Every structure is written in structure tokens, then in C-alpha cells.
Amino acid sequence: MTISGIGELPLFKRRSNSSSIEELEALLDLLPHPTLIAEARSGRVLFANAPVTQISAYTRRELAELELPTLLPELTAADLQPADGARPRPQKLVTRSSRETQVSVKVDSLGGPDHWVAISLLPPQKSEQDPQAVQQQRWEALHMLSLAQQQGDLAGCLRQTLQAGALLTGAAGLALYLPGEEGNLQLHSASGSPAGFPVALAAGDLGHLRIPKIWQPGRPLDSALHKAAHAAKLAYLASTPLDLSNPESGLLACTSEGDPQAPPGEELLAQLQIVAASAATALLGYQAQQELRGQLDRFAQSEAVSSLLQAQTQDGILFADGELRVLEINPAAENMLGYATAEVRGRPANDVLVSSQSLTPAMELALAEGKAIELGERKLHRRDGSEFLAALRVAAIPGGEGQAAALAVLFSDLSAHEAFHLESQQLQQRAFLGEMTAYFAHEVGNPINNISTGLQRMRRGLPAEDPMQELLRRMEEDCDRLDHRMKSILNLSRNMEHRPAPLDIGEFCRLQLERWRPRMARKNIKEFLQVAEGTPPVMGDSRALDQVFTNLITNAIHALEGQEDGMLAIKVGPHAEDSNQVEIQLSDNGPGIAKELQERVFEPFFTTKRTEGTGLGLAITRRILLMHKGEILLESVPGGTLFKIRLPVAPRNAYEGMLPE
């Protein structure tokens, strides 16, 4: 937005008492030249814009406390009565440091009951200045140019540069053109009167503006800039590229509205080039600053990504310098090796990555050839002396200008992979053993049956008192025992048929105890059943669950055999923490199971019975419960054993007919 005078500001056209000081000062800052608002009757300064603070060295608050004679001692009451067509008058301006400088004062009336006036402080005409005042004004301008770079933003820097240029050249207006679209130059900033400055300069005009030059009336109109100056009846228009070697980079122009017959000073172009050089330096500094800021942002982003990758990757990374000394290691490497970065920084990399085969030759080769080398799988030692299998790779990191190359060693812990491989091999061996065992059980079953049948016939053919009867009976029992074990093996290896249905588990447990009650009575074992009210039905196959409870109750009876106060208890109820499960607790007060054996009781062929049992009962039990999407847990201490069976609750729509009305 370019404002040429106080009269163009809408707020001052319709000034009201409700306007705030901040609003008035903000509008005054839109003016390109120093402007004061004062009370004509009292001569008191009311407001001032930023350019006034720059040329006077007073702050706005200090200016608002001044009387006009302090700032402009030669200004009279008559000067505050503006007349139509009055030209700016030369006046002396006294700065905060008591230094005097020449200005041209133009007074505009703002009207109103308080008789406010706007006092514009313009560069003085050449004829109005004495040599000493001119010299002082130039020093002031150069001082303003030197401070322009300290402005916080580019716009403020260029604005102060143009204001200093107006003071240095004495021009009524300055304009800065910068590259726009399609190779033309766009008006970027202006100071003073904008008359004669077109909004844009076409690419074709730049050929006539490639060198510093001054246009005056009567000379050829080579460009749109000269044509606009001619139309505005300016005294002259001077222009210079910001960079003589690259005219398309920008243009600085200045004008005067004085007497067309008064030629500009010989030093005008030199002064204009000084201002242009300052503007070009500001632009280059801004571009360099933006580029640097962009590089810093990219570097910070790259650092953040690198740190994130190092922290999140599961692979260990060790960075070493050109002398193979550790720079840092990432968190994964710290966990694998047992070291902290602070402990290993500066140490030889080969002392941290300890292997039976030194890694130094491979690292030196990677640095020398600047490439990556795969080292394959090797054993590395942790800080505590333990070792683990790792896959290693060494990669050189090229150094920047004047910097030595570095090295990265990447290694992955293959311990889990190795353990998985061993476990897979064991499972394959177990599967093969299971197949062979099932085949063996099937093939042995028929001969055992034939032997058992032959023994029965032999016993029937002998007299009852024959001594061979006892031997044959024991052999027949051995055949039965072998047949039972072979059938158990086949049951374990065979795919079980599973037909779940809603089952009243409380009633099911009652029937189980009723079936086993006679045998438990003969063994002096008491039973106890507790079913919690509201226990929902479970999804279960009654035939498969019958085998589960048969195995568990049989084991409990064997554990309680010979004990006078044996007790077998079953408690049924909803699971305390999961409403979608029912828990059945089956406990006995037998001798318990040793702690070191508890983890093995569910393994196939493991048994604590010396003469009886196949070691398959609990293995089959767990398999059946897993098929039911349930589980079985064991708790045992000297003096008792507890099995916890958990089964899923049946869907409500599957058992609504089972509920009592």
C-alpha cells in the first residue's frame, strides 16, 4: 500500500474522538515521509510516525511530550496556518542530541475544533541548503544506511534504506523495483511521493535502463519510467540497476518535483548507486539468511530423522572415526553389548565389538575403499562375557569438505533366530517321533491282542491248581497294560472329533462324582461339590470332558490312596476376572507335586507313578481343553493339589431353553 500524503488516510479524513492512539500511529506509519500531528493553537506535538523517530532520535513517547519550538525552533504560528498552493518551507530541525539539520516543512490542516495540523518533514531543496547543512544531512543519511541492516525484517530494512536515500539525494521520492513475473520488474517499495513511478516495468524497458542515467524534460522517452515522469511533469528522474552486471536483478529510481530548469547535482548518480548497493546488500543478506535458515531446518530435520531411526531401529549401530575409535552407539547397541555410549566413546572399536576374529581389517578396508562390506554371521561378546550370534555389516561414511571419513558398523542379534531355529528342529523331531510312536503303537497292538488271546486259552486248558496259572495271569495283565498304553498313544496322536454344545457344567460335575463315589468310598475318600448360583452353561463336548475329569479324578484317587482323611473337592462358578469364562476347581489334600515336577506334568509320557500310568493322561487333558478354547492350570504345595479348569461360556441364545422358567 502506497500513501502519498496525510489527506489520503481515511481516518484523518473523518477524524473522531473515539480513535485510539495505536490506530492513529499505525495509519501514520503508512506515510512514506516523516509526519507529525500537532495542535495549531498550543503548538503541542500529539502524534508522530516511525520516520520522525529515526531522523530526530526521539521516541514516540518523548515526542508526545514536546512543544513544536523544541523540535522546529524557526516554525512560527503563521507557518501553522496552511494556505492553498503553499510550497514546503525550509526549516531547521533539532534532534535529541541537539544536532541541527535542514528539512522542508509542509503543513496540512486536519480541521476539527482542536485545529489539528499535519506537519510533513521533507528533504530540503538544494537551493535551501548551505554547504555545512548539506554535509550534515549526508552524514545523517549514511548513518541511517549503516543501521538499516539492523532492522528485524527485509521490509523494514528496505524502507529505512529508501528514507536514507531520500535524505542523501534530496529527492522527493524513491522507488525500488524487484524481479516479478515473466521477466518484468515490479514496484516493491517506495518512499516519498510516488508520482512518476509505474507499477511495473516490462522486460523490453530494461534495455534502456542497464546503466545509471538521469532523464530530464526534453530528453527522449526511452522507457515507461521516463514516460511516467514526463506525464507527471517531474524535474528529473534518475535510475540505476542494483547490480550493473545483472540489470534484471532490480532497479532503484528517484525523482524531483522541483524546478525543471534546475539540473540535478553531479553527484546524484553516485549517491543513488550508494543507496542501490545498500539495497542490493540487504537483499543478498536476506536471501543468504533464508538459504541458511532453510539449510538449518533441513539439517535439524535430518538430525531428528537420524536420531529417531537410531533410537527405534532394532539393529545395533556403532559409529567410529577415521582412526576406528568409537564416536557413539545407538540404544539397541547399548542393550546388546551392555555398554553405555559415554563408557565406550573414544575407545578402539575392536575393544567394544569383541569377536574371535578381529574386525579391524574389514573396517580399514571399508574406510580405504569407501564402500560397504558384508561380514556375515559372527559371534560377539557382551560386556559380561556372554556371547551372541550377530550378522555384521561395515559401511564407510564419506566426509564433507575438509572432514575425514567415518565408519558405521551395523549388527543384528540373531540369538532369537537361532533359538527359533533350534526350537523348530526340536518340534520337527517331536513330530517325527510322534508319527513313529503312533505307527509303532498301531503295529504292536495286534500282536499284543494275539498274545493275550493265546494266554487266555492256555489258562483255560490248565487245571485251576496248576502252578502255571499265576504266571499266565501276570503275563495277561502285562498284555492288558501294554494294550492300554498303546491305545493312549493312539488317542494322543489321533485328531479328536470335537462337538461342543451348551452344557450344564454343575450338573456334569455332580454326575462325575456320583459315578466315582463307590470307588472313592472303598478308598475312604470323601467328596465335596459346590456350584455357585447363577453359573452359566459352558460350550463343551461331554464325551471329551468326561475323559478330562476321568484323568483328573483318577490321579487324585491315586494320590489319596492309603490316606485316612482323603478329600476330593470340586467348586464351580463364574471366573472372578472374566465373565466370559466358567472356572472349575478340582482339589485334593494329597501329598502334592514337587515344584520341580509341576512344569513337566503336562508333557507326554511323563508320569510320577512307578508301576501304573502312561504319562499321557494330563497331556491329553490339556489338548482337549485347548480344543474347547479353554485352559488348565496347576497349583500344588505339600499337602494339596489344585487344578483350575476354565471353559468358555455358551452364547445366551444357545442355552435359553435350558434356563428354568
Q: Could you report the per-residue pLDDT of 549-577, keeping only the tens digit for each?
A: 988 998 898 888 888 889 999 999 999 88
Which DSSP category does 325 fall into? B
What are 369's three cell numbers?
Answer: 575403499
Nearest to 29 by CA among 7, 16, 48: 48
Do 324 and 350 contact (CB within 8 A), yes or no?
A: yes
Nearest to 107 by CA among 119, 125, 123, 115: 119
CA–CA dist 117, 47 (Å, integer): 11
Nearest to 489 by CA among 430, 546, 442, 547: 442
Nearest to 482 by CA among 619, 617, 608, 612: 612
CATH placement of domain 139-288: 3.30.450.40
Q: Which residues of the chain have pLDDT under 50?
A: 1-4, 13-18, 127, 261, 402, 660-661
In the block, residue with C-alpha cell 548497493? 277
Do 411 and 316 contact (CB within 8 A), yes or no?
A: yes
Predicted pLDDT at 1: 42
Predicted pLDDT at 423: 66
For 377-416, letters b (16+ CB in 10 Å) and e give: ebebbeeeeeebbbbbbbbbbeeeeeeeebbbbbbbbbee
CATH topology of domain 501-658: Heat Shock Protein 90 (3.30.565)
Query: How far apart, in Å, are the Cα atoms of 62 and each of 71, 120, 417, 432, 643?
Result: 11, 18, 79, 100, 92
Predicted pLDDT at 14: 46
CATH placement of domain 313-413: 3.30.450.20
Do 274 and 145 contact (CB within 8 A), yes or no?
A: yes
Predicted pLDDT at 367: 84
Helices 154-169 and 131-148 meet at what angle, rounded to 10? Answer: 170
> If DSSP codes are grouped into helix, strand and coil, which group holds residue 455?
helix
Length of the chain: 661
Q: What's the distance, Cα to Cα, between the start and end of the chain in Å?
A: 87
Predicted pLDDT at 13: 47
CB within 8 A of 451, min separation 6: which ones?
A: 475, 479
Predicted pLDDT at 173: 85
Predicted pLDDT at 246: 86
What are 325's three cell numbers?
Answer: 575409535
For 63-81, letters b (16+ CB in 10 Å) and e give: bbebebeebbeebeeebbe
CA–CA dist 275, 278 (Å, integer): 5
Give me the DSSP letters along 383-412: TTS-EEEEEEEEEEE---TT---EEEEEEE
What are 254's three cell numbers?
Answer: 528517484
pTM of the predicted protein model: 0.40
CATH placement of domain 6-122: 3.30.450.20
